[in-house]
Chains A and B, each alone.
Chain A
Amino acid sequence: MLKLEEGQQVSKVTDMTRKLALAALCALAAFAASPSQAQQATEIRLTYSNGQFQPNQVSAPADKPVTFRVKNLDAKAMEFESTSLRVEKVVAANSEGVINVRALKSGRYEFYDDFNDKARGALTVQ
Protein backbone atom coordinates (compact mmCIF):
# COMPACT_ATOMS: atom_id res chain seq x y z
CA MET A 1 0.00 0.00 0.00
CA LEU A 2 2.75 2.32 0.98
CA LYS A 3 4.68 1.39 -2.15
CA LEU A 4 1.68 2.20 -4.34
CA GLU A 5 1.30 5.65 -2.85
CA GLU A 6 4.96 6.28 -3.36
CA GLY A 7 4.67 5.25 -7.01
CA GLN A 8 1.72 7.52 -7.59
CA GLN A 9 3.49 10.39 -6.01
CA VAL A 10 6.59 9.89 -8.08
CA SER A 11 4.57 9.80 -11.30
CA LYS A 12 2.80 13.00 -10.25
CA VAL A 13 6.15 14.60 -9.61
CA THR A 14 7.64 13.53 -12.94
CA ASP A 15 4.49 14.79 -14.62
CA MET A 16 4.94 18.18 -12.99
CA THR A 17 8.58 18.14 -13.95
CA ARG A 18 7.70 17.47 -17.56
CA LYS A 19 5.11 20.23 -17.59
CA LEU A 20 7.57 22.69 -16.13
CA ALA A 21 10.25 21.72 -18.60
CA LEU A 22 7.79 22.04 -21.45
CA ALA A 23 6.70 25.47 -20.28
CA ALA A 24 10.31 26.59 -20.05
CA LEU A 25 11.02 25.30 -23.56
CA CYS A 26 7.97 27.06 -24.98
CA ALA A 27 9.01 30.34 -23.37
CA LEU A 28 12.49 29.99 -24.80
CA ALA A 29 11.16 29.09 -28.26
CA ALA A 30 8.91 32.14 -28.20
CA PHE A 31 11.87 34.36 -27.46
CA ALA A 32 14.10 32.72 -30.02
CA ALA A 33 11.42 32.87 -32.69
CA SER A 34 10.74 36.57 -32.22
CA PRO A 35 11.95 38.58 -35.19
CA SER A 36 15.71 38.74 -34.99
CA GLN A 37 16.33 41.22 -37.76
CA ALA A 38 19.22 43.17 -36.31
CA GLN A 39 20.01 46.68 -37.47
CA GLN A 40 22.31 46.81 -40.45
CA ALA A 41 25.78 46.34 -38.97
CA THR A 42 28.90 48.23 -39.95
CA GLU A 43 31.37 45.75 -41.33
CA ILE A 44 35.06 46.12 -40.52
CA ARG A 45 37.61 43.92 -42.24
CA LEU A 46 40.96 43.30 -40.60
CA THR A 47 43.83 41.07 -41.57
CA TYR A 48 46.28 39.63 -39.12
CA SER A 49 49.74 38.72 -40.33
CA ASN A 50 53.22 38.59 -38.81
CA GLY A 51 51.66 39.26 -35.45
CA GLN A 52 50.11 42.60 -36.44
CA PHE A 53 46.62 43.88 -37.28
CA GLN A 54 46.19 45.58 -40.61
CA PRO A 55 44.78 48.21 -40.36
CA ASN A 56 45.18 48.71 -36.64
CA GLN A 57 43.11 51.91 -36.44
CA VAL A 58 39.52 51.62 -37.60
CA SER A 59 36.37 53.63 -37.11
CA ALA A 60 32.61 53.10 -37.08
CA PRO A 61 29.48 55.23 -36.56
CA ALA A 62 27.89 55.30 -33.10
CA ASP A 63 24.67 53.51 -32.15
CA LYS A 64 24.99 50.85 -34.82
CA PRO A 65 26.12 47.26 -34.40
CA VAL A 66 29.56 46.37 -35.75
CA THR A 67 30.74 43.17 -37.38
CA PHE A 68 34.45 42.44 -37.45
CA ARG A 69 35.81 40.07 -40.06
CA VAL A 70 39.29 39.11 -38.95
CA LYS A 71 41.41 37.20 -41.43
CA ASN A 72 44.30 35.41 -39.78
CA LEU A 73 47.04 34.86 -42.37
CA ASP A 74 49.56 33.55 -39.86
CA ALA A 75 50.34 29.88 -39.36
CA LYS A 76 49.16 29.93 -35.75
CA ALA A 77 45.89 30.65 -34.08
CA MET A 78 45.16 34.05 -32.58
CA GLU A 79 42.47 35.27 -30.21
CA PHE A 80 40.74 38.49 -31.10
CA GLU A 81 39.91 40.03 -27.76
CA SER A 82 38.71 43.30 -26.32
CA THR A 83 37.66 44.06 -22.79
CA SER A 84 35.73 47.19 -23.69
CA LEU A 85 34.01 45.59 -26.70
CA ARG A 86 33.36 42.47 -24.62
CA VAL A 87 34.54 40.07 -27.31
CA GLU A 88 36.83 37.10 -27.23
CA LYS A 89 37.18 34.83 -30.21
CA VAL A 90 39.76 32.35 -31.35
CA VAL A 91 40.64 32.64 -35.03
CA ALA A 92 42.45 29.54 -36.26
CA ALA A 93 45.52 29.70 -38.50
CA ASN A 94 44.77 30.74 -42.09
CA SER A 95 41.09 31.33 -41.51
CA GLU A 96 38.58 34.08 -40.96
CA GLY A 97 36.65 34.86 -37.79
CA VAL A 98 33.41 36.83 -37.61
CA ILE A 99 32.75 38.82 -34.46
CA ASN A 100 29.48 40.62 -33.74
CA VAL A 101 29.44 43.65 -31.48
CA ARG A 102 26.28 45.35 -30.33
CA ALA A 103 25.60 49.05 -31.00
CA LEU A 104 28.26 51.22 -29.38
CA LYS A 105 28.45 54.65 -27.78
CA SER A 106 31.11 56.96 -29.16
CA GLY A 107 34.57 56.44 -27.76
CA ARG A 108 37.78 54.52 -28.27
CA TYR A 109 37.75 50.74 -27.95
CA GLU A 110 41.03 48.86 -27.91
CA PHE A 111 41.40 45.33 -29.21
CA TYR A 112 44.33 42.91 -29.16
CA ASP A 113 45.49 39.37 -29.79
CA ASP A 114 45.25 37.57 -26.48
CA PHE A 115 47.97 35.15 -27.53
CA ASN A 116 50.39 37.93 -28.49
CA ASP A 117 50.30 41.15 -26.52
CA LYS A 118 52.32 43.05 -29.15
CA ALA A 119 49.42 42.98 -31.58
CA ARG A 120 47.10 45.85 -30.72
CA GLY A 121 44.62 48.09 -32.44
CA ALA A 122 41.70 50.36 -31.70
CA LEU A 123 38.22 51.09 -32.94
CA THR A 124 37.08 54.70 -32.81
CA VAL A 125 33.33 55.12 -32.62
CA GLN A 126 31.85 58.54 -33.34
Chain B
Amino acid sequence: MLAALIIVFREVFEAGLIIGIVLAVTGSVPHRNRWIGGGVLAGVLAACVVAAFAGALSQLFAGMGQELFNSAILAIAVMMLTWHNVWMAHHGREMAGEMRAVGLAVADGTKSLLALAVVVGVAVLREGSEVALFLYGVVASNGGSAANLAIGGFIGLALGAAVCLLTYFGLMRIPQRALFATTTALITLLAAGMAAQAVAFLERANWLNSLDTVIWDSGWLLSETSIPGRALHTLIGYTDQPTEMQLLVYVCVLVVTFLLMRLTGSQRTDRAVAVG
Protein backbone atom coordinates (compact mmCIF):
# COMPACT_ATOMS: atom_id res chain seq x y z
CA MET B 1 0.00 0.00 0.00
CA LEU B 2 2.80 2.39 0.90
CA ALA B 3 4.59 1.63 -2.38
CA ALA B 4 1.45 2.45 -4.34
CA LEU B 5 0.96 5.62 -2.32
CA ILE B 6 4.49 6.78 -3.05
CA ILE B 7 4.33 5.96 -6.76
CA VAL B 8 1.04 7.77 -7.27
CA PHE B 9 1.97 10.73 -5.09
CA ARG B 10 5.25 11.23 -6.92
CA GLU B 11 3.41 11.47 -10.22
CA VAL B 12 0.55 13.66 -8.98
CA PHE B 13 2.85 16.00 -7.08
CA GLU B 14 4.07 17.85 -10.18
CA ALA B 15 0.60 18.31 -11.63
CA GLY B 16 -0.58 19.52 -8.20
CA LEU B 17 2.07 22.25 -8.09
CA ILE B 18 1.24 23.43 -11.59
CA ILE B 19 -2.52 23.52 -11.00
CA GLY B 20 -1.96 25.42 -7.74
CA ILE B 21 0.05 28.08 -9.57
CA VAL B 22 -2.51 28.37 -12.36
CA LEU B 23 -5.31 28.76 -9.81
CA ALA B 24 -3.39 31.59 -8.16
CA VAL B 25 -2.62 33.25 -11.50
CA THR B 26 -6.28 33.28 -12.49
CA GLY B 27 -7.32 34.38 -8.99
CA SER B 28 -10.23 36.68 -9.78
CA VAL B 29 -11.04 35.79 -13.39
CA PRO B 30 -14.72 34.84 -13.75
CA HIS B 31 -15.52 31.23 -14.73
CA ARG B 32 -11.94 30.20 -14.08
CA ASN B 33 -12.97 27.07 -12.15
CA ARG B 34 -14.93 25.84 -15.14
CA TRP B 35 -11.90 26.26 -17.42
CA ILE B 36 -9.37 24.75 -15.06
CA GLY B 37 -11.72 21.94 -14.10
CA GLY B 38 -12.21 21.29 -17.81
CA GLY B 39 -8.43 21.21 -18.27
CA VAL B 40 -8.04 18.65 -15.48
CA LEU B 41 -10.87 16.51 -16.83
CA ALA B 42 -9.52 16.62 -20.38
CA GLY B 43 -6.07 15.75 -18.99
CA VAL B 44 -7.43 12.73 -17.12
CA LEU B 45 -9.31 11.47 -20.18
CA ALA B 46 -6.30 12.00 -22.42
CA ALA B 47 -4.10 10.23 -19.86
CA CYS B 48 -6.37 7.17 -20.00
CA VAL B 49 -6.25 7.19 -23.80
CA VAL B 50 -2.46 7.52 -23.77
CA ALA B 51 -2.20 4.72 -21.21
CA ALA B 52 -4.44 2.47 -23.31
CA PHE B 53 -2.26 3.04 -26.37
CA ALA B 54 1.08 3.20 -24.54
CA GLY B 55 2.36 0.15 -26.40
CA ALA B 56 1.49 1.53 -29.81
CA LEU B 57 2.87 4.96 -28.90
CA SER B 58 6.23 3.44 -27.92
CA GLN B 59 6.57 1.72 -31.25
CA LEU B 60 6.37 4.98 -33.21
CA PHE B 61 9.56 6.66 -34.45
CA ALA B 62 11.75 3.59 -33.98
CA GLY B 63 10.78 3.11 -30.36
CA MET B 64 11.08 6.79 -29.49
CA GLY B 65 7.36 7.64 -29.65
CA GLN B 66 7.01 8.31 -25.91
CA GLU B 67 9.97 10.67 -25.82
CA LEU B 68 8.86 12.64 -28.87
CA PHE B 69 5.27 12.79 -27.64
CA ASN B 70 6.45 14.14 -24.29
CA SER B 71 8.67 16.78 -25.83
CA ALA B 72 5.87 17.85 -28.19
CA ILE B 73 3.31 18.36 -25.44
CA LEU B 74 5.89 20.12 -23.29
CA ALA B 75 6.60 22.47 -26.20
CA ILE B 76 2.87 23.23 -26.43
CA ALA B 77 2.78 24.04 -22.72
CA VAL B 78 5.81 26.33 -23.07
CA MET B 79 4.11 28.25 -25.88
CA MET B 80 0.88 28.58 -23.92
CA LEU B 81 2.66 29.85 -20.81
CA THR B 82 4.76 32.34 -22.76
CA TRP B 83 1.73 33.55 -24.65
CA HIS B 84 -0.14 34.02 -21.39
CA ASN B 85 2.67 36.14 -19.95
CA VAL B 86 2.96 38.29 -23.05
CA TRP B 87 -0.80 38.70 -23.21
CA MET B 88 -0.92 39.77 -19.57
CA ALA B 89 1.76 42.41 -20.15
CA HIS B 90 -0.15 43.71 -23.17
CA HIS B 91 -3.57 43.53 -21.62
CA GLY B 92 -2.45 45.25 -18.42
CA ARG B 93 -1.28 48.21 -20.49
CA GLU B 94 -4.54 48.43 -22.39
CA MET B 95 -6.52 48.42 -19.21
CA ALA B 96 -4.34 51.22 -17.88
CA GLY B 97 -4.84 53.21 -21.07
CA GLU B 98 -8.60 52.57 -21.13
CA MET B 99 -8.41 52.11 -24.87
CA ARG B 100 -10.44 49.00 -25.14
CA ALA B 101 -14.03 48.05 -24.63
CA VAL B 102 -14.55 45.93 -21.55
CA GLY B 103 -16.39 43.28 -23.55
CA LEU B 104 -13.37 42.70 -25.74
CA ALA B 105 -11.11 42.43 -22.74
CA VAL B 106 -13.33 39.75 -21.26
CA ALA B 107 -13.27 37.81 -24.51
CA ASP B 108 -9.50 38.01 -24.50
CA GLY B 109 -9.46 36.88 -20.91
CA THR B 110 -11.19 33.71 -22.04
CA LYS B 111 -8.42 33.13 -24.55
CA SER B 112 -5.82 33.41 -21.84
CA LEU B 113 -7.83 31.02 -19.68
CA LEU B 114 -7.91 28.57 -22.55
CA ALA B 115 -4.11 28.70 -22.76
CA LEU B 116 -3.82 27.98 -19.04
CA ALA B 117 -6.44 25.23 -19.24
CA VAL B 118 -4.26 23.60 -21.93
CA VAL B 119 -1.24 23.86 -19.59
CA VAL B 120 -3.21 22.19 -16.80
CA GLY B 121 -4.44 19.49 -19.18
CA VAL B 122 -0.89 18.78 -20.36
CA ALA B 123 0.41 18.55 -16.79
CA VAL B 124 -2.33 16.10 -15.81
CA LEU B 125 -1.87 14.11 -19.01
CA ARG B 126 1.87 13.66 -18.52
CA GLU B 127 1.67 12.50 -14.93
CA GLY B 128 -1.71 10.81 -15.23
CA SER B 129 -0.87 8.29 -17.93
CA GLU B 130 1.72 6.64 -15.69
CA VAL B 131 -0.69 6.53 -12.76
CA ALA B 132 -3.35 5.02 -15.04
CA LEU B 133 -0.92 2.35 -16.28
CA PHE B 134 0.20 1.52 -12.79
CA LEU B 135 -3.32 1.31 -11.33
CA TYR B 136 -4.49 -0.68 -14.34
CA GLY B 137 -1.69 -3.16 -13.75
CA VAL B 138 -2.74 -3.44 -10.11
CA VAL B 139 -6.37 -4.07 -11.01
CA ALA B 140 -5.46 -6.47 -13.82
CA SER B 141 -3.29 -8.64 -11.58
CA ASN B 142 -6.22 -8.66 -9.10
CA GLY B 143 -4.39 -10.42 -6.31
CA GLY B 144 -5.63 -10.15 -2.72
CA SER B 145 -3.52 -7.04 -2.31
CA ALA B 146 -5.17 -5.20 -5.20
CA ALA B 147 -7.68 -3.38 -3.01
CA ASN B 148 -4.91 -2.40 -0.63
CA LEU B 149 -2.81 -1.02 -3.47
CA ALA B 150 -5.78 0.85 -4.87
CA ILE B 151 -6.37 2.48 -1.48
CA GLY B 152 -2.71 3.49 -1.38
CA GLY B 153 -3.09 4.94 -4.85
CA PHE B 154 -6.09 7.00 -3.87
CA ILE B 155 -4.38 8.34 -0.75
CA GLY B 156 -1.49 9.36 -3.02
CA LEU B 157 -3.97 11.12 -5.27
CA ALA B 158 -5.51 12.96 -2.30
CA LEU B 159 -2.04 14.05 -1.13
CA GLY B 160 -1.37 15.40 -4.62
CA ALA B 161 -4.57 17.44 -4.37
CA ALA B 162 -3.35 18.71 -1.00
CA VAL B 163 -0.11 19.92 -2.64
CA CYS B 164 -2.24 21.79 -5.16
CA LEU B 165 -4.27 23.50 -2.43
CA LEU B 166 -1.16 24.31 -0.36
CA THR B 167 0.48 25.94 -3.38
CA TYR B 168 -2.66 27.91 -4.12
CA PHE B 169 -3.28 29.18 -0.60
CA GLY B 170 0.43 29.84 -0.12
CA LEU B 171 0.46 32.07 -3.20
CA MET B 172 -2.78 33.76 -2.20
CA ARG B 173 -1.13 34.98 0.99
CA ILE B 174 1.10 37.18 -1.12
CA PRO B 175 -0.30 40.74 -1.17
CA GLN B 176 -2.31 41.50 -4.29
CA ARG B 177 0.17 44.04 -5.60
CA ALA B 178 3.13 41.64 -5.46
CA LEU B 179 1.10 38.67 -6.69
CA PHE B 180 1.18 39.66 -10.36
CA ALA B 181 4.97 40.02 -10.42
CA THR B 182 5.38 36.76 -8.48
CA THR B 183 3.13 34.68 -10.70
CA THR B 184 4.68 36.18 -13.84
CA ALA B 185 8.11 35.13 -12.61
CA LEU B 186 6.80 31.68 -11.63
CA ILE B 187 5.14 31.12 -15.00
CA THR B 188 8.27 32.25 -16.86
CA LEU B 189 10.50 29.88 -14.87
CA LEU B 190 7.95 27.09 -15.28
CA ALA B 191 8.02 27.60 -19.06
CA ALA B 192 11.83 27.68 -19.18
CA GLY B 193 12.02 24.51 -17.10
CA MET B 194 9.53 22.72 -19.33
CA ALA B 195 11.51 23.76 -22.41
CA ALA B 196 14.65 22.28 -20.85
CA GLN B 197 12.73 19.06 -20.12
CA ALA B 198 11.53 18.94 -23.72
CA VAL B 199 15.20 19.16 -24.78
CA ALA B 200 16.05 16.28 -22.43
CA PHE B 201 13.40 14.11 -24.12
CA LEU B 202 14.74 14.98 -27.59
CA GLU B 203 18.23 14.08 -26.40
CA ARG B 204 17.01 10.72 -25.08
CA ALA B 205 15.39 10.05 -28.43
CA ASN B 206 18.71 10.86 -30.14
CA TRP B 207 16.97 13.55 -32.15
CA LEU B 208 19.14 16.24 -30.69
CA ASN B 209 22.84 15.55 -30.27
CA SER B 210 24.35 19.02 -30.46
CA LEU B 211 25.77 20.49 -27.26
CA ASP B 212 24.87 17.42 -25.25
CA THR B 213 27.82 17.63 -22.86
CA VAL B 214 26.76 17.65 -19.21
CA ILE B 215 27.82 20.98 -17.69
CA TRP B 216 27.73 20.12 -14.02
CA ASP B 217 26.63 17.42 -11.62
CA SER B 218 25.00 18.80 -8.50
CA GLY B 219 23.43 15.48 -7.54
CA TRP B 220 25.54 15.39 -4.35
CA LEU B 221 24.03 18.71 -3.28
CA LEU B 222 20.42 18.23 -4.29
CA SER B 223 19.29 15.06 -6.01
CA GLU B 224 16.64 15.51 -8.67
CA THR B 225 14.77 12.50 -7.30
CA SER B 226 14.39 13.83 -3.75
CA ILE B 227 11.15 15.64 -2.91
CA PRO B 228 12.78 19.12 -2.73
CA GLY B 229 14.62 18.25 -5.95
CA ARG B 230 11.37 17.25 -7.62
CA ALA B 231 9.63 20.41 -6.48
CA LEU B 232 12.43 22.56 -7.85
CA HIS B 233 12.47 20.45 -11.01
CA THR B 234 8.83 21.33 -11.62
CA LEU B 235 8.97 24.94 -10.50
CA ILE B 236 12.21 26.20 -12.03
CA GLY B 237 13.33 23.22 -14.12
CA TYR B 238 16.13 22.18 -11.75
CA THR B 239 18.11 19.24 -13.04
CA ASP B 240 21.25 17.88 -11.38
CA GLN B 241 23.02 17.10 -14.68
CA PRO B 242 21.99 19.66 -17.30
CA THR B 243 23.44 19.54 -20.79
CA GLU B 244 24.69 22.65 -22.58
CA MET B 245 21.68 22.57 -24.88
CA GLN B 246 19.28 22.41 -21.95
CA LEU B 247 20.86 25.45 -20.33
CA LEU B 248 20.92 27.32 -23.64
CA VAL B 249 17.24 26.69 -24.31
CA TYR B 250 16.38 27.55 -20.71
CA VAL B 251 18.11 30.92 -20.95
CA CYS B 252 16.61 31.54 -24.41
CA VAL B 253 13.06 31.09 -23.11
CA LEU B 254 13.74 33.51 -20.24
CA VAL B 255 15.25 36.12 -22.55
CA VAL B 256 12.57 35.80 -25.25
CA THR B 257 9.76 36.05 -22.69
CA PHE B 258 11.38 39.10 -21.13
CA LEU B 259 11.84 40.78 -24.51
CA LEU B 260 8.32 40.00 -25.70
CA MET B 261 6.87 41.33 -22.46
CA ARG B 262 8.92 44.50 -22.74
CA LEU B 263 7.87 44.98 -26.36
CA THR B 264 4.16 44.46 -25.82
CA GLY B 265 3.89 46.02 -22.41
CA SER B 266 6.29 48.96 -22.77
CA GLN B 267 5.61 52.58 -21.83
CA ARG B 268 2.99 52.35 -19.12
CA THR B 269 4.44 49.25 -17.51
CA ASP B 270 4.37 50.73 -14.02
CA ARG B 271 0.69 51.46 -14.05
CA ALA B 272 -0.07 48.25 -15.87
CA VAL B 273 1.53 46.20 -13.14
CA ALA B 274 -0.46 48.04 -10.51
CA VAL B 275 -3.69 47.31 -12.37
CA GLY B 276 -2.84 43.76 -13.41
Contact = CB atoms under 8 A, between A and B. Distances in A.
Tell whether A pairs with B.
yes
Nearest to B129: A90
> Main SS of chain B's interface residues?
helix
Contacts of A31: 208, 210-211, 245
Determine the interface band of chain A, counting residues with CB < 8 A from chain B: 35 or more
Interface string A1-22: 0110010000001001100100
Nearest to A75: B140
A98 to B, nearest CB: 3
B204 to A, nearest CB: 6
Given A24-B256, A75-B140, A115-B137, A89 B210 contact: no
A94 interface: yes
A102 B212 contact: yes
A90 B66 contact: yes
Contacts of B51: 77
Nearest to B243: A102
Contact of B134 (A38, A94, A97, A115): A115
A26 interface: no
A33 B204 CA distance: 17
Interface residues of B, number: 41
B139 to A, nearest CB: 9
B208 A20 contact: no
A24 to B, nearest CB: 6
B151 interface: no
A96 B264 CA distance: 49
Interface in A13-43: 13, 16-17, 20, 24, 31-32, 34, 36, 38
Contacts of B207: 32, 36
A-B complex: 5 closest residue pairs judged by Cβ atoms: A98-B63, A76-B137, A92-B55, A95-B55, A92-B54
Interface of A: 2-3, 6, 13, 16-17, 20, 24, 31-32, 34, 36, 38, 75-77, 79, 83, 86-87, 89-100, 102, 114-115, 117
28 contacts: A2-B99, A3-B99, A17-B86, A17-B264, A20-B256, A24-B256, A31-B211, A32-B208, A36-B209, A38-B209, A77-B133, A87-B204, A90-B54, A90-B130, A90-B133, A92-B54, A92-B133, A94-B55, A97-B58, A98-B58, A98-B63, A99-B204, A100-B64, A100-B206, A115-B7, A115-B134, A115-B137, A117-B3
